[in-house]
Homo-oligomer: A and B are copies of this chain.
Amino acid sequence: MALRVAAAHLREAKAAILAANAHDLADAEAAGLGRTATDRLRLDESRIESMASGLETVADLPDPIGIVVADDVRPNGLRVRRVRSPLGVVGVIYENRPNVTSDVAGLCIRSANAAYLRGSSSALRSNQAIVAALRGGIVEAGLPADAISLVEDTSHATAVEFMRLRGIMDVLVPRGGPSLITSMLEHATVPVILDGDGNCHVYVDAAADLDMACAIVVNAKTQRPGVCNAMESLVLHEAIAAAMLDRLVTAMPEVRLLADGRARALHPELERASDEDFGTEFLDLIATVSVVDDLTAAIEHIERFGSGHSEAIVTADPDAARRFLAEVDAAAVLHNASTRFVDGAELGLGAEVGISTQKLHARGPMGLEALTSVRWIIQGEGQTRS
Cβ-defined contact, B384 with A364, below 8 A: no
What is the minimal beta-carbon distance from A68 to any residue of chain B, in angstroms? Answer: 12
What is the minimal beta-carbon distance from A217 to any residue of chain B, in angstroms? Answer: 10
Contact bitstring A309-333, B, C-beta under 8 A = 1, else 0: 0000000000001000100011111
Contact bitstring A367-378, B, C-beta under 8 A = 1, else 0: 000000111111
Cβ-defined contact, B88 with A341, below 8 A: no
A142 in the interface, Cβ–Cβ < 8 Å? Answer: no
A351 in the interface, Cβ–Cβ < 8 Å? Answer: no
Which residues of chain B are near A376, meaning CB under 8 Å?
331-333, 342, 347, 363-365
A251 in the interface, Cβ–Cβ < 8 Å? Answer: no
In the assembled complex, the Cα of A365 lies from the Cα of B351 at a distance in Å of 31
Cβ-defined contact, B384 with A171, below 8 A: no
A74 in the interface, Cβ–Cβ < 8 Å? Answer: yes
Which residues of chain B are near A360, meaning CB under 8 Å?
87, 170-171, 191, 193, 360-361, 373
Specify how many copies of this chain sit in the oligomer: 2
Cβ-defined contact, B384 with A338, below 8 A: yes
Which residues of chain B are near A27, meaning CB under 8 Å?
none
Given contacts A347-B74, A348-B80, A385-B219, contact A373 B379 (CB under 8 A): no
What is the minimal beta-carbon distance from A222 to any residue of chain B, in angstroms? Answer: 10
30 pairs, CB–CB < 8 Å, chain A vs chain B: A74-B346, A85-B329, A88-B359, A170-B360, A191-B359, A191-B360, A193-B360, A209-B382, A216-B384, A219-B385, A220-B384, A223-B385, A321-B379, A330-B375, A332-B375, A332-B377, A332-B378, A333-B377, A336-B380, A337-B379, A337-B380, A337-B382, A337-B383, A337-B384, A340-B385, A342-B378, A346-B385, A347-B376, A360-B360, A363-B375
New A-B contacts (13) at CB < 8 Å, excluding given A332-B375, A364-B375: A78-B337, A80-B347, A85-B329, A88-B359, A171-B359, A220-B384, A329-B375, A331-B376, A337-B382, A337-B383, A337-B384, A338-B384, A360-B361
- 3 nearest CB pairs, A to B: A337-B380, A219-B384, A332-B376
